[in-house]
Structure 1
Amino acid sequence: MNNTLKNQVCNLSPGTEIQGKWHNVHYKILEKLGVGATGVVYLVQLVNGTLAALKISFSNMSVTAEVNVLKKLSQVKDKVLGPRLLDVDDWSYGSHALSFYVMEYVKGQPLLSFISTRGTEWLQVFASQLLTDLENLHEEGWVFGDLKPENLVVTSNPVKVRWIDVGGTTLQGRSIKEFTDFYDRAHWGLGSRKAEPTYDLFAVSMVLIHAAYGKRINKTDKPAEQLKRFILTTKQLEPFGNVLYQAVTGKYKSAKEMKTEVLSVEKRRGAKSKGTKPQNVRQPSAPRVKVKKKRSHVLETLLLCTSVMLIYILYLFIQVL
C-alpha cells in the first residue's frame, strides 16, 4: 500500500459505509480507534446495531497472520486470550481491494487514563491479571510482543485489564515482528528480540513503570544502567521496585513466577499495615469521673455543716457565761 492510499485509509470519515466483497456484510464507521504498524482500526456499527472493531490492513500478509493468531487463540478452551474474531473480508475502495477483519469491540477505559483517575493502587491488581493472561498465552506457545498501554483497556463489571490488538503476537522462538522502543528490552540493551516469555515480562514491567511514574523516561547513553537505577530509586515504584528490577534483568523465567512475587509483596504490605496500626488508648469512663466528683461535693457539704455546728455550740457556750 503506497503512502497516498495509506493516508486515505487512515482518515475515513464517520458515516463511511464498508461493504464486504464476499460476505456482503455492511459496516458503518463511527470513529477511528487507532493506527498501528500493520493497519488502522475503526469502531463500526452493523445493521442490527452491534458494535465491533474493524481493522483495515496495510498488507495482505499481515492480515492473514493476525487472523490466524485470533483463530488460534479463540480455540483455547475456557480462556479468553484476545478479542473474538467475527469476520474476514475485502473491501473495494476505488480501484483497490483492501483486506480487513472484524473483531469484538472491547469497550473500556485506556489503562493510563484509568490509573490517572483511580490511583496507582490498582496497578498490583492489573499486574496480576495481565500476568495470568500472559501465562495462559505462553502455555499455548505464543508471545504477545508489542505489549504497551495503547494495547490495553480496563473494562468494568468486572474491572479487568484486557489487550485489544494482537498484531505483534509471535510464535515462541521466532523474532518479534512488532515492537515499541520504550517497552522493547533490546532498545534498552537488556536482551534480544527473540520471542520468549521473558520478553513479555520486560514489557509488563515497563508498562507498570510508565503507569506509576506517569510518563516515559528518556534513554541515556547507558540505558541498562539508567533503567536499573531508576527502578530502584524512584519513590512511585515502591514497594515493587525489586520485582520490576528482577523482571527487566530477566530473572523471572515465567509469568507465573513473576505473579507469585507481585502477590507476595502485596501480602507483606497488608501484614505490615496491620502490624503498625495504632492501638486504642483506654480512656477513663465518664461514670467514674462523675462518681468521684459527687463524693467530693458530699465531703465538702459535711465539713461545712460540722463547722457551722461547732460555731453555734461555741456561741451558746458564750451566752451561758
Structure 2
Amino acid sequence: MACSSGSNAKMSSPNVSTPVMAVTPDAVDQKTSPAVFEIFGKIWNVQARLGQGVSASVYRVSSGRASSAVKEFQVDAQGGDYGYLKESSVLEKIQGHKNIVTLYGMFTNHNPFGVATHCLLLELLDVSVSELLVRVSNQGHSMWLIQHCARDVLEALSFLHREGYVHADLKPRNILWSADDECFKLIDFGLSFKEGHQDVKYIQTDGYRAPEAELQNSLAQAGLESDSGCTTAVDLWSLGIILLEMFSGIKLKETVKSQEWKDNSSAIVDHIFSSNAVVYPAIPVFHLRDLIKSMLHNDPKLRSTAEAALINPFFSIPFDIIEDMKEECQKYGTVVSLLIPKENPGKGQVFVEYANAGDSKEAQRLLTGRTFDGKFVVTTFYPLSAYKRGYLYQTVQ
C-alpha cells in the first residue's frame, strides 16, 4: 500500500504473473533435484522445488510459455510404488471437478543415474491457505475470503463424498488458490480411500485429525484393530478447524490437543468468536460460528455433511469485495475515503485515504504481501494532493 507524507494511500492488487505454491519454493539443488523432465517427448525445465515429503517431491516446471507442476514419487521402503499407484488411481477417478486439481498425465522419469521414478503432471496452482494464514499475523481473514474458501472446499468434498471417497488429509497446505479459475482447489490424495474400504491406518495431519481418527491411530500404534474405519465425516472435522483458524488468524494445533478442548470444544469456539466478533458484522459471525460448530461434533454421526453445510445461511450473505477491502483497511486506522477506479487511469488500483500519516504507514507495512480476491497486494505511498485533484496513475509508481 502507499501513502505520501500526508495521509493518502494507494494499494495495488495486480494479478500474480508467476504462479507460486503455498510452500516457499526452494532453490533447485542440482545434486538432489532433476534439472529437466522429459514429458511425452517434450523437455520441461525445473524452475523450483515447491515442496518435499517423505514419499514425493513437487516441482514447478516450464516448457516455453507453459508451466505445470510435477510430483515425483520416491521408491518406497519395500521397493514398490504404492504411493504413486494410489494417488494416480484416485485422481484419475475424480477428475473433472473445478475445485479439484487437474491431472494432466502420468509418466516415468529416467534420471542420469539410471533410476526410474514415477511422476504425475499436474495443474500448477498458486498460494495455499497455509501461506495465507502465515500472512495474517494473528488477524483473521475477511468474511469474503472465508466464505469463498468454505464454499469451494465444500463443493469439492460434496463431489468427492458422492463418489465414495474420503480425502483423509485435509489441511491448509492442501487447499490452493487458482488465479486462472478464481477458486480454491484440493490437492494431495495420497491418503484418500473408498469409504468402507480404508486401506490406510494412519490418516490426517496432527491438528486437523478428527477424534475417531485419533483413536484409530492410537489403536494401530498399540497393534490393535479398530471396530470400523473412518468415514467422510473426518473431512468435515478438518475443514471446521481450518475455517476456525482462518477466522481467528491463529494456528490451533495446541488448542485442539488440550484437555479443555476435549472437555468442551463448543465453549472454546464461542470464546474465539466473541474475541474476534468486534471487527466483523454480527450476522455473518453468527452463521459462520454455527457452520463451524456443525462440523466439530465429537460424534461423527452428528457432524454436518458437505451437502448440508452448503445450505447454511452463511453462504446466502453477499460479501462485496469493496466493502471487504474497506473493512480490512479500517483495522489499521480511520479510513477517510476509499476509491477503486473501474477504468484507466488507475484501473486495477485501490486508493485508501487515512486520517493521519501514522495510520497510513502502519497500513502500508501490514497490508503488503496480503491477498484480496486471489491477488497479491503491492503497496506504495501516493501524493495526497494528486489524489484530491483526481490525478490517478495507471500503474504503481
Q: Same fold (TM over 0.5)?
A: yes
2:208 aligned residue:
183
1:166 and 1:81 map into 2 onto residues whose CA distance is: 10
Q: Which residue of 2 aligns with 1:35?
A: 52
Which digits, 9 at most, give the CA deviation of each residue in 1:33-82, with x for residues without a partner?
Answer: 11234311010113x331111111123110111111121122x5x75533
Q: CA 1:227–1:31 in 2, change beyond 3 Å: closer, same or farther?
A: farther
> How many equivalent residue pairs?
254
Q: Secondary structure, in 3 states, of the residue corresponding to 2:72?
A: strand
Alpha-carbon offset, residue 102 of structure 1: 1.4
Change (3 A) 1:103 1:188: closer
Distance change >3 Å, CA 19–CA 50, structure 1 → 2:
same
Aligned to 1:206: 241
**Residues 198 and 207 (structure 1 numbering): CA distance in 2 closer, same or farther, change over 3 Å?**
same
Measure, in 1, the Cα distance between the counterparts of 2:229 and 2:90. Answer: 18
Counterpart-to-counterpart distance in 2, 1:100 and 1:142: 22
Residue 258 of structure 1 aligns with which residue? 309
- C-alpha root-mean-square deviation of aligned residues, in Å? 3.2
Aligned to 2:268: 230
Structure 2: state its 5+ residue gaps: 1-25, 218-227, 278-284, 320-397
168-177 or 60-69, larger mean C-alpha shift: 168-177
CA, structure 1 residues 91+225, in 2 after alignment: closer, same or farther (shift >3 Å)? farther
User: Does 1 or 2 have the higher relative contact order (CA < 8 Å, sep 6+)?
Assistant: 2
Residue 204 of structure 2 aligns with an amino acid whose one-letter code is F
Indicate if the aligned counterparts of 1:87 and 1:102 stay in contact, CA closer than 8 A: yes
- What is the match of residue 72 of structure 1? 93
Partner residue, 1:6:
none
The separation in 1 between residues aligned to 2:199 and 2:142, in whole angstroms, is 30
1:150 to 164, 173, 179: 173
2-structure distance, mates of 1:109, 1:241: 26
1:1-321 equivalences in 2 (<5 Å): 12-13=28-29, 16-20=34-38, 23-46=40-63, 48-58=64-74, 59=76, 60-74=81-95, 76=96, 81-106=100-125, 108-114=126-132, 116=135, 119-121=141-143, 122-156=145-179, 158-175=181-198, 177=200, 178-186=203-211, 194-217=229-252, 218=254, 219-225=257-263, 227-235=265-273, 236=276, 238-239=285-286, 240-249=288-297, 250=300, 251-261=302-312, 264-265=313-314, 267=316
Q: Which has the higher helix share?
A: 1
Q: Give the aligned residue type for 1:259.
A: L
Does the Cα contact within 8 Å between 1:43 and 1:53 map onto a contact in 2?
Answer: yes
Distance 2:73 2:119 in 1: 6
Superposed displacement of residue 138, structure 1: 0.9
Amino acid at match of 2:142: T
Which amino acid counterpart does residue 81 of structure 1 have in structure 2? I
In structure 2, C-alpha distance between the alignment counterparts of 1:36 and 1:226, rounded to whole Å: 34
Percent of aligned positions that are identical: 17
Structure 1 residues 208-240: Cα deviation after superposition (integer angstroms, max 9, x where no partner): 112222222212245422533321221237422
Give TM-score scaled by structure 1 length. Answer: 0.68
CA separation in 2, counterparts of 1:190 and 1:124? Answer: 31
User: What is the rounded CA distance, in whole Å, between the counterparts of 2:260 and 2:199 in structure 1?
Assistant: 24
